[in-house]
């Protein structure tokens, strides 16, 4: 059923749904893909997307007919995570945003791309006692896609951020596919951080907040170390780590402090997601915090894209080499 020859996967087309600032796009461009359509409704995300990719994404995907979307080989979509996140109300498909998955399914039914990658929050598989995930997989199967699902942590792929996300890969054939293995290397926090004197002074936490965090840390029997990221959860517990906790779009302003001293800068927020330093920032810091919190870790996407290309360029039925992870069959 392959729609492309093995060599043709060196030059493939994809669409970027719920595109955000383009993190998924970056990962698939790095393995030879060309984006032929993107969709995003957030105005600030669109400004960033246009500044970095030279094109303005189409708007609300619910108002775009599937047959108006160009033909493509791979559908990519980090469909909205808010309905499934422990930070939100966890309404799932009862929330109107949850139904956006069905817009994805209609595009898959009509355009029939050979492969897909979907991204969502870690809790996606267990939401509503697993029923939400079961609906998604059942729908994909009914359309004709064979799926593979795994939770991956950005911390395992060279990014100093503990960010666990659910990834679903699908193909129109039942292919042997393995998600990328962890690098087993602790990322260097210093590679992300700017010098305190180089960031805007408005990012420095007040003396009251700094002292309060330090007192709580000591009461917990912990000692400060540097460099470190200080994270305060909803219960007031202070965590101190040589990496960041997951960036969150709607978190309190001071929930995450660099060395217990200041809030992360706009560039640092993007670096925590693996965006290159030449990625242009054209919106204010508040917007960047939100956009970075809603984005993906680019190195994770790149690693998945590389595995998908390995599978597509060397296709093998799933049953042929189940015991050989991270390697596609060449038979």
Q: For every one of its 331 residues, what pLDDT tens digit does the chain have, with 9 covering 90 and above?
A: 444 655 679 899 999 999 999 999 999 999 999 999 999 999 999 999 999 999 999 999 999 999 999 999 999 999 874 344 444 454 544 443 446 888 999 999 999 999 999 999 999 888 878 888 888 898 899 999 999 999 999 999 999 999 999 999 999 999 999 999 999 999 999 999 999 999 999 999 999 999 999 999 999 999 999 999 999 988 889 999 999 999 998 888 889 999 999 999 999 999 999 999 999 999 999 999 999 999 999 999 999 999 999 999 999 998 765 544 444 454 4
Q: What per-residue confidence (pLDDT) applies to 82?
A: 39
Q: What per-residue confidence (pLDDT) applies to 235?
A: 87
Q: What per-residue confidence (pLDDT) applies to 111?
A: 98
Pairing of strands 33-38, 12-17: parallel
- Which residue reads 């010098």 in tokens? 195
- 111-126: b or e for each residue (b if 16 or more CB lie within 10 Å)? bebbbbbbbbbbbbbe
Q: What domains does the chain contain, in order, with CATH numbers? A: 7-185+296-321 (3.40.50.150), 189-294 (3.90.120)
329 has catalytic annotation: no
Instruction: Report how far residue 293's alpha carbon sits from residue 58's, in angstroms, rounded to the nearest whole number.
Output: 22
- Which residue reads 């330093």 in tokens? 277
Count CB-CB contacts under 10 A for residue 138.
Answer: 10
Q: What per-residue confidence (pLDDT) applies to 131?
A: 81
Which one, of 119, 199, 133, lies nearest residue 166 by Cα?
Answer: 119
Coil, helix or strand for 8?
A: helix
| DSSP H/E element including 79 | none
- For the beta sheet containing 256-258, the strands, ordered from the edge strand earlier in sequence to the opposite edge, are 238-241, 229-232, 256-258
Q: What per-residue confidence (pLDDT) applies to 43?
A: 98
Exactly one of 35, 81, 245, 269 is catalytic; name it.
81
Q: How far is CA 267 from CA 24, 138, 252, 307, in A?
A: 18, 40, 19, 29
Q: What per-residue confidence (pLDDT) applies to 84?
A: 40
Q: What per-residue confidence (pLDDT) applies to 265?
A: 98
In the DSSP assignment, the letter for residue 48 is H
């Amino acid at each position: 059923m392959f729609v492309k020859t093995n060599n043709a996967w060196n030059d493939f087309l994809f669409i970027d749904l719920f595109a955000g600032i383009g993190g998924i796009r970056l990962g698939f461009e790095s393995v030879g893909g060309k984006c032929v359509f993107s969709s995003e409704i957030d105005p600030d995300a669109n400004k960033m997307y246009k500044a970095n990719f030279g094109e303005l994404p189409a708007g609300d995907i619910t108002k775009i007919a599937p047959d108006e979307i160009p033909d493509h080989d791979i559908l990519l979509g980090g469909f909205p995570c808010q309905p499934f996140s422990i930070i939100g109300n966890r309404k799932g498909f009862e929330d109107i945003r949850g139904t956006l998955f069905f817009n994805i399914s209609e595009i898959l039914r009509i355009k029939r791309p050979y492969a897909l990658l979907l991204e969502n929050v870690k809790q996606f598989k267990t939401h509503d006692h697993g029923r939400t995930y079961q609906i998604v997989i059942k729908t994909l199967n009914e359309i004709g896609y064979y799926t593979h699902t795994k939770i991956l942590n950005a911390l395992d792929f060279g990014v100093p951020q503990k960010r666990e996300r659910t990834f679903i890969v699908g193909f129109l054939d039942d292919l042997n596919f393995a998600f990328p293995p962890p690098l087993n290397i602790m990322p260097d926090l210093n590679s992300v951080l700017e010098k305190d004197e180089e960031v805007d002074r408005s990012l420095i936490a007040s003396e009251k907040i700094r002292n309060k965090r330090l007192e709580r840390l000591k009461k917990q029997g912990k000692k400060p170390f540097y460099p470190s990221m200080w994270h305060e959860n909803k219960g007031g517990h202070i965590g101190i780590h040589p990496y960041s906790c997951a960036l969150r779009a709607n978190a309190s302003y001071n929930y995450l402090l660099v060395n217990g001293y200041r809030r992360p800068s706009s560039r640092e927020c993007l670096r925590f997601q693996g965006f290159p330093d030449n990625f242009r920032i054209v919106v204010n810091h508040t917007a960047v915090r939100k956009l970075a919190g809603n984005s993906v870790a680019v190195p994770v996407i790149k690693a998945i894209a590389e595995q998908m290309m390995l599978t597509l360029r060397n296709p093998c039925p799933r049953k042929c080499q189940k015991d050989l992870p991270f390697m596609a069959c060449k038979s």
